Structure 1
Amino acid sequence: MTEHDAGRYRCYYYSLDGWSEPSDPLELVVTGSYSKPSLSALPSPVVTSGGNMTLQCGSRGGFYRFLLIKEGDHRLSWALDSQTQPSGQPQALFLVGLVTPGHRWTFRCYGCYRDRPQVCSHPSDALELLVTGESGKPSLLSQQGPIVASGQSLTLQCRSDVGYDRFALHKEGGRDLPQSLVLQPQAGLSQAHFPLGTVSSSHGGRYRCYGGYNLSSEWSAPSDPLDILVAGWLRDTPSLTVQPGPRVASGENVTLLCQSQSLWDTFLLSKEGAADPPLRLRSKPGAQQYQAEFSLNPVTSAHGGTYRCYSSDTSSPFLLSHPSEPLELLVSGDIPKPSIWADPGPIVTNGSPVTIWCQGSLQASAYGLYKERGSEPWATRIPQNSSNKAGFFIGAMTPSHAGLYQCAYYTTGDILSERSDPLLLVVTGVGGPPSFSAQPGPVLASGGNVSLSCSSRLTSGPFHLLKEGGADPTRHMAVVPRMHAGRWQAIFPLGPVNTSHGGTYRCYGSSSSNPNVWSQPSAPLHIEVTDYTVENLIRMGAAGLVLVVLGVLLFQARNDTRRIHDAARM
């Protein structure tokens, strides 16, 4: 096909009555003659199922008209004459709808000139719309926290207990739609990391993520929004003070005062390690300064911790000043009990690294880590750079590292704090995986009962059952097995079940001498709990029964596909 073949064609046929009427015209367009235009979605490439979408095709090449093609549709989908914008760039706006998740909505556009309307440019880059539904929303978090410093490396993590195969990340007002395949599930969660590079002012904004399956074009409902705030961008460093003082009794009223000599209309107060976003208040003029008063009335032990404040402006709400000096609030005059956690998690594969973190006080002079409630520290660390926490790094997890850990710290006057709550560290991957099955089957109606069977020839100690996506991955069911048909077998009964019991389960074996050293995980088992009771089926009749059977078959097909994917990952 060359440019000379482009044009409009019609065909005829001849019979005894003579020549027929001409066919409808067929327009052949030859592409690849000019530079490609750009294609974007307004206001973003995210659209709710059943909604409309506007696509913008534009170029500086002075094209007379633009063509929009939908992948999978061999017809010439849309053609519009260009309209010149105030910037001098011609463009066309295509209204697309109603968008449904039946298949992928992927578009490209082309530009053409007036004198040769059937000879057009190279195609634009492909634009895929993200069609969202109402399925379970994932969660989105920043590994560095919601406030990041300019020049710092930023990575966002999207995760879910649903078991999605892929995730997408979208910034409000942005036109890009980064996508990522799911990582190997950890502690029952499917997750994906989105490295966004070195932080600049453009990274500030509101983000959401979505989960989906490779075999489906529909994505989940959006995660709750995550606001990323870039600190150090505004040339200001406010001060933070507390009244009546940094040591208060539980039940007192406390005011944190953030002040600046610069005219900023907003102040933010952030507590280190808090899950909630920073508090925002409008500034008020004070004595030669601008300030905001953050009241904590009345305070409890939960208010204790380290605070910083920032100044900002409503015209750029995601850009912040440098942080104030840290201020530590001590409640009831007691030394706060430290907190302890493991990164990336308390269930670690044999040979993998893990860091045990202990967070206490800015006044801490040293941290001690205790194993199995021992009287002497297993290891000690000195906090670095005036930090209120210390990390205990284990380069390669081994069975000897499994067990209970606690931490404590020394503060002014060599006073030793109370020990933290215990942290159970489990090592997995020691020994072959057990077999895992459900009786009578993985699909059952609400109110029914199911038995999950975990068996192995290798391990005779407790078997452990984990449900993926649990808020606390160390909570699990442990059952001592019995010998059955030459294998050690443990039965985990579930029931009467409801929809909350649905999800993905795995089981592990362990030895009776060291129940915190687990085998490799079994293959995943997906349990589906439906709302179809006998009464519902009677009311639904034969047609309803057919729908239920079809639903079971579809679930089984998806289950088989997931097993194939999981086997490939293992």
Structure 2
Amino acid sequence: MKKTPNVSILLLWLLSISGREDVQTSESPPAPKISLIPMWRILLRGNATIVCKAPLFPMFHLYLEKDAQNLIIPTEGINGVAYFLITNVSAEHGGMYKCCYNSSSLSHSKCSGLLELLITDPDLPRPNISLTPRKMIHLGITVTFQCSAKGPIQGFYLHKNGNKLDSQSVKLDEDSVIFSFTDVKQTNGGRYHCSYKSSSYPFISESSNEVELFVVDPTFPRPTISPYPMLLVTPGGNITVTCKSKGSFMRFYLQKSGDEMPQQSLETKGTMVKFHIKNASESHTGEYSCRYSTLSEPFVVSKMSNLTQLVITVPHLPKPNISLIPYGIAELASNIRIECTANRSGSRFYLYESRTKKQLQIVITAGSMVYFPFNNLTKGNGGSFCCSYMNQSEFFTSSETSDDVTLLVLDTLLPKPNILPKNMEWIPLKRNISITCQCQYLAAKFFLQKEDDQMPFQTLKAKGTMATFIISNATSAHEGKYKCSYSSTSYPFAISSPSDFVTIQITDPTLLKPSISLSPKVMVILGSSIIIPCTVHDLNNTFHLNSTFYLYKIGYEKETQAVKPDNDTAMFPINNAMEKHGGEISLQLQTPTSVLDVRNQ
């Protein structure tokens, strides 16, 4: 066989068990030991150093033999060790080596076991190796490694972590061999590969692919995995799975159910790692678990964690509707329900925390609607929630999640905040309005709510003890009374009692200005009746007949009269005039879209 210049050398040392020339007696000194530097692989035309170690005897000599022939001149050992350098290694160096020593006190030489030098031939087909069963192995199980190759073969070698572990001869017509481990122990864990010896001695193949043998140690505490029990993701989204153990300096493994071996492994000096799966698709769905090992024994692993499901949303399942019953801010110790409705029946419904998509509840129904109950509410029950559903025949695909619904719980122990300004002037149409809410403690959120609304319509994250709400481009729809509240950093969805009210009133400078007068136009006698007419002088016929006039005394805005006009005039009667009717009067004209305020005496 013609060799190329890039051929490399593999040295394998074999302990000679049979055919030893020198059987020792109890009085005989021990045989020397033989080893190689580098340990196992040397390039063609490289150098190899064979090391002999022998007992310390006065005037002893060490020498190296190849194929039972004295190869190198005897060398005196230094502290019991001799080094034999082979330079420019070539095919002629193939064969069996041993080292021997003698001294003046010995009647015969003592020799080491055998070291076989084989030459790696890159033209030989690589062998294949397989492990059965290919999974995490429990103690006491039997495992087998099958090594196979094509071509005339003399024998196979099994290697663990780069070192030769075992060898088997085969017949010339055989192309595979089985290496078996019965009663597997922790020490059997590791990386394995095989090679084979060609019938053209002394050539050997390149190494096969590697297989990994993980051994489960039942004494290791189980790790924890999160999110648990389910992780919901949208197509193309990114996934983070956290695995945690009690000890530090660990290697963690993430494995999908059905896969023979872990998908990912990460090392850490701490107790926790985060596995990332990017650009999620349906191929990523399934059940996942994690294990760990110590860094010193990476192939001795713990039992697996609990299983968590990775579920992906699919567009053919429309998102459900969600609502809070009863709607509004809930009282402590009360009972509420979150309703989730789909457009199909026979589904599994899931309730999640909106931000993390952590699964909170599951309900299976033959119908199309479920209720998720929250009984005897506490401050910690508040939050933002969404729901989804799955067909009962599909385990890892889900509908899109619903819109979010927020559950706020009233915490009456929190001091109510202040709202500023306490009294607000009339606001011109399309102006911006600022309302500030202030509390005594550091807040998580501030909430702004209209008087008749059941829930806040604005929420701000807090940056201290106050926040300012902005109502932009104000219209008549923004008129009304407003109050604010806040939540603490400990319970961001448990809100305080509300502040006092502040009233917002909008004026429209584009409306025609009405006029106001008294009838009679004299001093009013107590007990008499008067009429206050209000008129819009509309020369361009733009006055809206569905408008309303409002009359009230400044400072007594709650005591308001409302009158529909007759054409362009409204008449406000005051019967049995009293001292309380005296004062400054304000007139407000409101159309279906705008408001104008006029003051008169």
Higher relative contact order (CA 8 A, sep 6+): 1
TM normalised by structure 1 equals: 0.44
TM normalised by structure 2 equals: 0.42
